[in-house]
Chains A and B, each alone.
Chain A
Amino acid sequence: MHRLGKAVSILAVLALPLTNVAARAAAATSAVKKSVWKRVSGPQAQADRWGFVQVSLVVKKTTVGSKVTRKITGITIPVYPDHTGRSLFISENALPILMNEALKAQMHPQNVQLISGASFTSQAFEQSLQAAVLKAKKV
């Protein structure tokens, strides 16, 4: 496997245990919780003869009492090899990464000015959250 593929596999392995540690820590304690986000970037690494690749991560660092947990919440690839047809092929097959989460539901969103959703018709509009948002502004 070329180096680029390896870098992506390492990332995939890296993300998993970090997520689990964070979940365990959150369940274990109710002490004061503090979270900070940091972006960290790796160096521009040569991916064999295909060009350079650089990976940047957003890490959420949560401190609960003396326990520190870190969770990767974002991955971007600011530099990736794309200068030949062959390396473009590799990039398209190796690099796309999707973050995976469970669906969340926030029942009473605060301070939301707009709602995006599948096209609602004029009829459905009356029952929609958008209508509620407009009404709320007049209260």
Chain B
Amino acid sequence: MSCTRVEHVMGMPIVVDVRDVQGHDGHVDALFAWLRVVDATFSTYREDSDISLLNRGELARDDLEPEVRVVLDRCERLRLETGGYFDASAAEPGRVDPSGLVKGWSIERGARILDGFGLSNYAINAAGDIVVRGGALPDRRWRVGIRHPLLPDAVSAVLELTDLAVATSGAYERGDHVLDPFTRRPPSGVLSVTVVGPDLGQADAYATAAFAMGRKGAHWTARLPSGYEAMTVLEDRTVLSTPGFESLADAA
């Protein structure tokens, strides 16, 4: 039977919606077990996580698990790629907080667990950041609303997607504080940035970086790598989209 489940992991609600008829609770259990391992390893809220040990100097960089090193190396590449606007070390000098990548990275890896069970029609929504595979059977695609940044009960666009990831960054929810790492203040002129692309880790980091850039972030999104598309909502309610984003919305 297909199944839907919500669990609270990594401080957020994660919704898994499997539409394949062979999908069952065991598959979803495996996904959440992986996410709990990720939380235990990467959480900055847990004193015994690898990241906390690293930040307290109780674990040397060379002794980190290979997967932790992979994530930290990718954070560094993203910092360079975004001109310093995605910065895992911005919050406190000398300490690292890879949370901005860990969510997207772990959901992508979790999707591969479901792929391994032979599932090909499912969606994972991690507090607004999404991976979709196949379609919402019997529909061939998933219809994904992009939350209106000013009206909590409305959407500002509907996309029809298959085999893609969507991430949105904005300042309208409590608990989500993206700062411009150069000024250490909230960015100005922008309400939200949504990025669609093949990998949720990248899409999430790009959305965070573009949002942190403020108004000029929209122009930065016009040069995202091939396969990534973006929509930026400015404070004056202007929407700037890359041409490919428009065509995903047109299909809806």
For A92, give its contact among B173, B174, B192, B223 (CB under 8 Å): B223
Chain A residues within CB distance 8 Å of chain B: 37, 58, 60, 73-76, 92, 96-107, 109, 111-122, 124-125, 127-130, 132, 134, 137
Does B4 contact A137, Cβ atoms closer than 8 Å?
yes
Stretch at the interface among B38-46, B86-94, B147-155: B147-155
For A74, give its contact among B123, B151, B176, B243 (CB under 8 Å): B243
Binary per-residue interface labels of chain B (169-183) against chain A in the complex, 1 for a CB within 8 Å, 0 otherwise: 111111110000000
**In the complex, A122 Cα to B6 Cα: how many Å?**
11
Known A-B contacts A104-B157, A116-B146; the reply to A121 vs B238 at CB < 8 A is: no
Residues of A within 8 A of B237 (CB): 102-103
Stretch at the interface among B49-57, B72-80, B110-118, B127-135: B127-135
Asked if B12 is at the interface of the complex by the 8 Å CB criterion, the answer is: yes
Closest to B168 in A: A116
B140 to chain A, nearest CB (A): 13
Chain B residues within CB distance 8 Å of chain A: 4, 6, 8, 11-13, 15, 17, 123, 125, 127-130, 132, 136, 139, 142-158, 166-176, 192, 194, 218-219, 221-223, 233, 237-247, 250
Does A73 contact B246, Cβ atoms closer than 8 Å?
yes
**In the complex, A92 Cα to B223 Cα: how many Å?**
7
Known A-B contacts A98-B222, A99-B246, A102-B239; the reply to A121 vs B12 at CB < 8 A is: yes
Does A99 contact B145, Cβ atoms closer than 8 Å?
no
Sample 17 A-B pairs with CB under 8 A, ordered by A number. A37-B250, A73-B246, A99-B243, A101-B238, A103-B233, A106-B158, A113-B142, A115-B155, A118-B128, A118-B169, A118-B170, A118-B176, A118-B192, A122-B11, A122-B13, A125-B127, A129-B145
Does B130 contact A73, Cβ atoms closer than 8 Å?
no
Known A-B contacts A116-B144, A116-B145, A120-B128; the reply to A127 vs B152 at CB < 8 A is: yes
**In the complex, A116 Cα to B123 Cα: how many Å?**
12
B225 to chain A, nearest CB (A): 12
**In the complex, A20 Cα to B172 Cα: how many Å?**
33
